[in-house]
Amino acid sequence: MIASWTLGWTKSPAGLEKQALPVVQIAPSAPSIDAEKVQQMTQSLAALRQTVEQLTAGQAQMTRVIGRLETAVAELIVKIPEPPPQPPAAPGRKPTPVPQSSRAPVAPRQ
């Protein structure tokens, strides 16, 4: 039963073997290639490739410099001595209160 089912999928429907399929034009013919434009694009791509390579090299150099700076900072932090413990703060003097006068302030004479 399975053999007949798979055989049905491999056979084409009756009468279609001899029919020709219509030709459909998908896109118009391609315009001719301008050699000068191709040369300009090739030069532009070469310049772009060179620029990308320079940027990549600069980025790699910057990565190395940043790594060296991070290492130097870590070495400096290790070399900084711990500050000695500070003695406990001496108790501060309390300000003495100024006695309040019962008189209102008097403006100075001129």
pLDDT single digits (tens) 42-74: 999 999 999 999 999 999 999 999 999 999 999
Region 79-86: mean pLDDT is 86
> Residue 86 has which token pair?
């500070």
- Minimal CA–CA distance to 66: which of 74, 54, 80? 74
Higher-confidence position of 12 and 90: 90
Domain count across the chain: 1
Is 12 contained in some domain? no
Is 55 contained in some domain? yes
Is 2 contained in some domain? no
Q: What is the DSSP letter of 104?
A: P
Is 52 contained in some domain? yes
Residue range of the domain that includes 70: 37-80
Is 15 contained in some domain? no
Is 104 contained in some domain? no
Is 105 contained in some domain? no
Region 97-105: mean pLDDT is 63
Q: pLDDT at residue 79 above 70?
A: yes
